[in-house]
Amino acid sequence: MTPVTPVTPATGPTARAAAPPARRRSSDAPRRRVVVVIGASSGIGRATAHLLAARGDALVLASRSAEALEQVAQECRERAPRRRPGRPPADAGGGPDVLVVPTDVSRRDAVERLVERAWLAHGRVDAVVHAPAVVAYGRFQEVPAEVFDQVISTNLLGTANVARAALARFGPARHGHLVLVGSLLGQIATPWMSSYVTSKWGVHGLARVLQAEARSLPGVDVSLLVPGAVDTPVYAQAASYAGRIGRPPPPVDPPEKHARAVLRLLDRPRRTLSVGPANGPGTAAFRLLPGLYDRLVGPGMSVLGLSRRRVGPHAGNVFGPVPAGEAVHGRWGRHWLRGVGVLAAGAGVAAGAGPAVRAWRALTAAVDGA
């Protein structure tokens, strides 16, 4: 038999001709990811942390509320798959299953410390999911300038701080996935939410730029999740200078639906994922029928986006966390039924003024106490 000569790696000048290594995408990450979840104390971020924990990923949880984060950490530990006694966690750099790092994303130094602690704990970070946001209701000129500025600082500059710190690690490592949570209000506009709309349009613009620039970063992905209305506590915790409490207009999705979308992005990276039945029609109306949209959005927002409950001017959680209000869900889970009322009112218009008026009155009465 002819002896087989073992193949050795090319050296010297011939090494330059060797094929370059295949591009490593974030979807090629080890089975057990190390994921930093920012905004983990509430809403989509908290629901995402639960799902990631349930499939065994190592988590670094961040938000402004240390108290709420400790509760979320315990929830994640309870959901994590059980391991055999004495068996170390698989491929997470020996770090803890859940690490809590209270962080205010509007502070660049705090965000840098968060990413550094995650890296030191596990030796790598596979993904960063950025979900926090604060909201202020009120006409533009009625919202105090310092409140407007802080919403921008948290939502937009906070996103920039997180992206900068994450990409500074992902680039040299040639591996990592940044998932930013945007909003339908980053694609359309509505009255009484000027600071939030401005910040989310900025987040969407930033995400688009980062996606273009990431093409020159092998192994690095940037994704944008675009939720519609979601049943989270953000509305009840929002600042209000409108005299009324905000609420999500129908149809309203549960946070878990969007958390599952985050996991889909982590498993199969894509640029943008829009989740919400109203996203497509709302965006189309805003772009194609701007005059009609502007005439309808004010009355629609007044009825469906603001509660009838009166409230005095307050800054909500814009300047600091309110741990008692942190949770996965708000209190809007069944309010998607209001959409049925809207359709009924529309059908009434076609049939005659009387049925339309009755449908509209029934709809208004149904949401008066919400």
| CA–CA gap between residue 253 and residue 188 (Å, rounded) | 18
Specify the number of domains making up the chain.
2
Question: pLDDT tens digits for the chain (370 residues)?
Answer: 444 444 344 444 333 333 333 344 444 444 689 999 999 999 999 999 999 999 999 999 999 999 999 999 999 999 999 876 555 555 555 567 999 999 999 999 999 999 999 999 999 999 999 999 999 999 999 999 999 999 999 999 999 999 999 999 999 999 999 999 999 999 999 999 999 999 999 999 999 999 999 999 999 999 999 999 999 999 999 999 999 999 999 999 999 999 999 999 999 999 999 999 999 999 999 999 999 999 999 999 999 999 888 999 999 999 999 999 999 999 886 544 444 444 444 444 344 445 444 443 443 444 444 5
Q: Would you state the pLDDT for residue 125?
A: 97
- Quote the Cα angle for 295-301-303, to 5°: 110
SS3 letters for 204-258? Answer: HHHHHHHHHHHHHCCCEEEEEEEECCECCCCCCCCEECCCEEECCCCCCECHHHH
User: With contact defined as beta carbons under 8 Å apart, do 47 and 255 qualify?
Assistant: yes
Output the six-digit token pair for 95.
Answer: 């770090």
Both 166 and 139 in a single domain?
A: yes
Both 223 and 324 in a single domain?
A: yes
Both 111 and 212 in a single domain?
A: yes
Is residue 13 one of the residues assigned to a domain? no
Q: Would you state the pLDDT for residue 266?
A: 98
Is residue 287 one of the residues assigned to a domain? yes
Q: Would you state the pLDDT for residue 199?
A: 98
Both 346 and 264 in a single domain?
A: no
Both 214 and 343 in a single domain?
A: no
Both 255 and 370 in a single domain?
A: no
Both 186 and 216 in a single domain?
A: yes
Cα distances (Å, whole numbers) of residue 197 to 140, 168, 294, 341: 11, 28, 15, 26
Q: Would you state the pLDDT for residue 89?
A: 54
SS3 letters for 111-124? Answer: HHHHHHHHHHHHCC
Q: Would you state the pLDDT for residue 331?
A: 87
Both 316 and 343 in a single domain?
A: no
Is residue 1 one of the residues assigned to a domain? no
Both 231 and 354 in a single domain?
A: no
Is residue 17 one of the residues assigned to a domain? no
Is residue 197 one of the residues assigned to a domain? yes
Both 228 and 91 in a single domain?
A: yes
For residue 18, the Cα-to-chain-centroid distance in whole angstroms is 42
Both 273 and 362 in a single domain?
A: no
Beta bridge partners of residue 272, listed in sequence order: 224
**Do the strands 306-310 and 244-246 form a parallel or antiparallel pair, or are they unpaired?**
antiparallel
Both 232 and 112 in a single domain?
A: yes
Q: Which domain holds residue 347?
A: 334-370
Is residue 191 one of the residues assigned to a domain? yes
Is residue 284 one of the residues assigned to a domain? yes
Q: CATH code at 82?
A: 3.40.50.720
Q: CB neighbours of 138 closer than 8 A, spacing ≥ 6?
A: 192, 239, 240, 241, 242, 313
Is residue 56 one of the residues assigned to a domain? yes
